[in-house]
Amino acid sequence: MMLKFYLLIGITMAILSSAGLYILNKFDSKRHALWQKIFALALFVFFVGRYFGASFKEAVFRGSSFRVKDSIMATMGLTINSPFGENSAALTAFAVLLLWANFSALTVMITYPFFKGKVKILDGIAKYYAGAVYLASLVGMGILLRAMDGPDALTAMKTRGVLFAIETGLGLGQCIYYNIVNWKVKFDWKAALLGVGAVGGMFLASIPAYAIQVLYGYGSSTVEVKNLTEQHRLFVYFGFLLPLIIYLLFRKKNYETRRYILLYISLAAMHSYCFDITFSTLADITAWPLHLCNTAMFILPLCLMFKWEKVFYFTLFINVLGAFFAILMPNYGSENWLSYTIIRFWINHYCAFFMPILTIAFRIYRRPKLKQFVYSLLAFAVYFIIILGIDAAHVNSANFLFLNTDFIAAKLGTWAKNLRLNVWDFNLFGTSFRLFPIYQFLYFLVYVALSFAMWFIYVHFFRMADVYAEIGARQRKIKMDKLALEVALNGRSAEEPMNLESKDQLVLKNFSKKYSTSSVYAVKDASLTVNGGTIFGFLGPNGAGKSTIIKSIVGIQTITSGSIEICGYDVEKQPVMAKLQTGFVPDHYALYENLTGREYVNYIADLYDVSAEDRTARINEYVKIFNLEASFDNQIKTYSHGMKQKITIMSALVHNPKLWILDEPLTGLDPESIYQVKECMKKHAAAGNIVFFSSHLIDVVQSLCDRIAIIKGGNILVESDLKAIEESGVGLENFYLSTIGEL
């Protein structure tokens, strides 16, 4: 009779909720999304009332008594302690699987309205999977109520039964509504298979901590799953493997999908942890979930659901560290490694350990800076003081941070246990307190020190991640550039210029560069064309962007946007061929100083595959020009600054490049050396090559250059023939100063 009553409540709620949502959508369509969220929250409220309103029941196994919230939690291997009797293995299995699926569907339905339209796959899961589970729950309500409250669940009306009937009806009604308003006749096999895979993952993530012992049992003997036994190591290895699998599977999904996956897992872990909590237990403060790892069960879902970024960093620095040590030193006794207690412990600590790290890896929140780390430590200090007070006032019943026992001290040795001999007992407001001041103070300091170590580890892992991300991005870009090059060459050899029209030119097309550490462009939308046979002067104040452009031309650094062509070769898509056309004299050179001048220049010639005949002729020519006959076979470390600069110039010219780039080449040279370098520049340009150099020496630019460009603040302000400037009657110096706004 009671079963019919519960079924009537469930069916009525399904009709009312689906009809209510449909009517609200018709008459208040602007706020229909809000109404869906309200109904989802109502579903959550009834679940909380049903779930936390339960009372603990006593169960016995192997002579030991223990308490359970749902009767089925005491079942071992489908038959022992089953609420359906000893000959009902199939019914027990059906009940636990349906309870398992019921929570999975509940999690979907209370979160779906908040992610509707953001995570597309949820549409089908909410309509079909959750709908099927709630329909099965309605049909099998009698079985589920007996699984929760035992064989007498249907003998009289119970509040929990009513709440479960309402919850099931609300969930089913919402599924019906979503099917009505989003009905699709066309069947998509690809979407269906993807949905099945997603449902499988969600189902596994929602596993109740008691499911394994119910379906499989404890086994024949107890095992101590700690102290790095084989079973303990398996749990530890799995704790590192699981987040890696999750990351690899979902790292390429969009932001909202990644956030939803983490939210779902954290809600599943919270549900598992809450098996030992009821409204009645919360009346006792010592039963509150205030243990460091337990707080993560509630902080994480809230941070992921409502984007509480500032609160999140507490879990990243404090909870992760606590969970890591708990994983290495679990605080449970000798039990079978498949028991509810053990599985619950590991689900709890897995979530506290790797979920915050995955949240950062999935870029849900920004990587923390030192400020967030310091705030987390301050929050931990407040938390520690509160917990210290609770532990001190409940010495015999509270042990949230293991402050009232020697659990941690015993692992460190006698000296640590002796610290606990210093005791301070006192009364405050009629309450007795007991502190272990030295032990507890050192406990806090050590935890803070370990937190600093974790900050150090995080920083280095972030750097490693950046390096691998950059390598991956570069590899992807290389593949794309290779494909673009093949298309542009249209069957021509890869050694031919990509752009035949600019085979005697240096061309910058809308070149921009922004460094990863800055939000400001170092160079923005720069365009230049320099023809062969030209000596081109590049002017600008310090920090204007001259070196940035030069380093991008020679391939030292990447291009943010735009393109650079050297004699028709694209610098990004044909980097090797572009470099073969280029000789570079940097402002700060670095030479192998244990080599002789001859050995070094020959080494560079080898890199450019210069023939023996050509290199001998060029080396002899430049040795004579630079007056290095007497010292060319001496080690470079014996050379003066000017001689080293000449060796740098010789190695830049030994392969006779079509583009010769010099960045402040005359700094620190004597007049004779300056004259020699200038003569080389004139000779190289006269042979039809490009000489491109930056300088602050206006008179040198004026005497040498055919054309100039002036850059400031990353923008090329002007590009002009030097003759045009001279004909205007304005000297180059005044023209330069007026252009950059200094005159």
Summarize pLDDT for 588-618 with one digit per residue, the tens: 878 899 999 999 999 999 999 999 999 999 9
> Do residues 527 and 476 lie in contact, with contact meaning Cβ atoms separated by under 8 Å?
no
> Do residues 68 and 59 lie in contact, with contact meaning Cβ atoms separated by under 8 Å?
yes
What is the pLDDT, as a whole number, of residue 186?
A: 62
Domain ranges in the chain are: 1-217, 222-366, 500-739
pLDDT band at 220 (very low <50, low <70, confident <90, very high): low
Alpha-carbon span 103 to 98, nearest angstrom: 9
What percent of the chain lies above the pLDDT cut of 70? 96
What is the pLDDT, as a whole number, of residue 580?
A: 92
Look at 315-319, 360-364, 517-521, 582-586 and tell me which has the smallest mean pLDDT.
517-521
pLDDT band at 192 (very low <50, low <70, confident <90, very high): confident
Burial class from Cβ neighbours inside 10 Å (0-12, 13-18, 19+) for residue 183 reads exposed
> Do residues 543 and 522 lie in contact, with contact meaning Cβ atoms separated by under 8 Å?
no
Burial class from Cβ neighbours inside 10 Å (0-12, 13-18, 19+) for residue 504 reads middle
What percent of the chain lies above the pLDDT cut of 90? 28
Residue with tokens 């939690």, as numbered in its chain: 73
What is the pLDDT, as a whole number, of residue 686?
A: 92
What is the pLDDT, as a whole number, of residue 27?
A: 79
What value does the mean pLDDT of the chain take?
A: 86
What is the pLDDT, as a whole number, of residue 224?
A: 66
Q: What is the mean pLDDT of residues 445-472?
A: 85
Q: Which of 52, 60, 57 is nearest to 70 (CA)?
A: 57
Look at 39-48, 61-70, 144-153, 363-372 and tell me which has the smallest mean pLDDT.
61-70
Q: What is the mean pLDDT of residues 47-69?
A: 79
pLDDT score of 454 more than 80: yes
> Do residues 737 and 743 lie in contact, with contact meaning Cβ atoms separated by under 8 Å?
yes
pLDDT score of 97 more than 90: yes
- Does the domain at 500-739 match CATH 3.40.50.300? Answer given as yes
pLDDT score of 655 more than 70: yes
pLDDT score of 102 more than 90: yes
Q: What is the mean pLDDT of residues 635-641?
A: 90
Alpha-carbon span 42 to 35, nearest angstrom: 10
pLDDT score of 221 more than 70: no
What is the pLDDT, as a whole number, of residue 436?
A: 86
Alpha-carbon span 371 to 501, nearest angstrom: 54
Full DSSP string of 352-393 = HHHHHHHHHHTTSSPPP-HHHHHHHHHHHHHHHHHHHHHHHH
pLDDT band at 155 (very low <50, low <70, confident <90, very high): confident
Q: What is the mean pLDDT of residues 331-342?
A: 76
Q: What is the mean pLDDT of residues 466-480?
A: 82
Alpha-carbon span 678 to 701, nearest angstrom: 10
Q: What is the mean pLDDT of residues 79-107?
A: 88
What is the pLDDT, as a whole number, of residue 333?
A: 67
pLDDT band at 223 (very low <50, low <70, confident <90, very high): low
pLDDT score of 412 more than 90: no
Which comes out higher in pLDDT, residue 680 or 400? 680
Look at 228-242, 480-494, 542-556, 708-722 and tell me which has the smallest mean pLDDT.
480-494
Helix (H) / strand (E) containing 505: strand 505-513
pLDDT score of 185 more than 60: no
What is the pLDDT, as a whole number, of residue 230?
A: 80
pLDDT band at 661 (very low <50, low <70, confident <90, very high): very high
> Residues 552-576, buried b or exposed e (16+ Cβ, 10 A)?
bbbbeebbbebbbbbbbbbbbbbee
What is the pLDDT, as a whole number, of residue 107?
A: 93
Q: What is the mean pLDDT of residues 414-420?
A: 83
pLDDT score of 518 more than 80: no
What is the pLDDT, as a whole number, of residue 183?
A: 65
- Paired sense of beta strands 535-539 and 690-694, if any: parallel
What is the pLDDT, as a whole number, of residue 390?
A: 87
| Local structure of residue 220 (DSSP, 8 states) | S
> Residues 601-622, buried b or exposed e (16+ Cβ, 10 A)?
bbebbeebebeeeebeebbeeb
Q: What is the mean pLDDT of residues 719-740?
A: 85
Q: Where are the alpha helices (DSSP H) in 291-369?
A: 292-306, 309-314, 320-328, 340-361
Q: Which of 126, 352, 137, 116 is nearest to 239 (CA)?
A: 352
Q: Give the amino acid at 596.
A: T
pLDDT score of 64 more than 90: no
Structure tokens at 71: 């009767």
Q: What is the mean pLDDT of residues 10-18?
A: 91
Q: Give the amino acid at 421.
A: L
pLDDT score of 73 more than 90: no
Alpha-carbon span 270 to 286, nearest angstrom: 19
pLDDT band at 509 (very low <50, low <70, confident <90, very high): very high
Q: What is the mean pLDDT of residues 188-208?
A: 83
Look at 362-366, 526-530, 663-667, 720-724 and tell me which has the smallest mean pLDDT.
663-667
Which comes out higher in pLDDT, residue 618 or 335? 618
